[in-house]
Amino acid sequence: MAGPPQLSPMLATKGEPDEVRSGFAYEFKWDGVRALAATDGSSLVLRSRTGNDITAGYPELAGLGGAVGRPALLDGEIVAFDEHGRPSFSRLQRRMNLRDARRVPAVAAQVPVAFLVFDVLVLDGPVVDLPYEERRGLLLDLGIAGPHWQVPPSADGDLDRVLGIVRELGLEGVVAKRHGSTYQPGRRSPDWRKIRLMTRQELVVGGYRTGQGSRGGGFGSLLVGHHDEEGLRYAGSVGSGFTDAEYRRVQALLDERVRDTSPFVDRVPHRDVVWCEPDLVVEVQFAEWTPDGILRAPSYKGQRDDKPAGEVVRET
d(CA 82, CA 79): 10
Name every residue whose Cβ is closer than 8 Å to that of residue 302 and which is 6 or more positions away in sequence. 89, 90, 92, 93, 96, 246, 282, 283
Give 216's DSSP letter. B
CB neighbours of residue 253 within 10 Å = 15
d(CA 140, CA 149): 13
d(CA 303, CA 174): 22
Residue 29 annotated as catalytic? yes
Which value, to the nearest 10 degrees, does the dihedral of the CA atoms of residues 241, 199, 307, 82 take?
60
Residue 129 identity (one-letter amino acid)? D
d(CA 126, CA 223): 43
Q: Which of 29, 177, 301, 307 is catalytic?
A: 29
- Tell me which residues are annotated as active site: 29
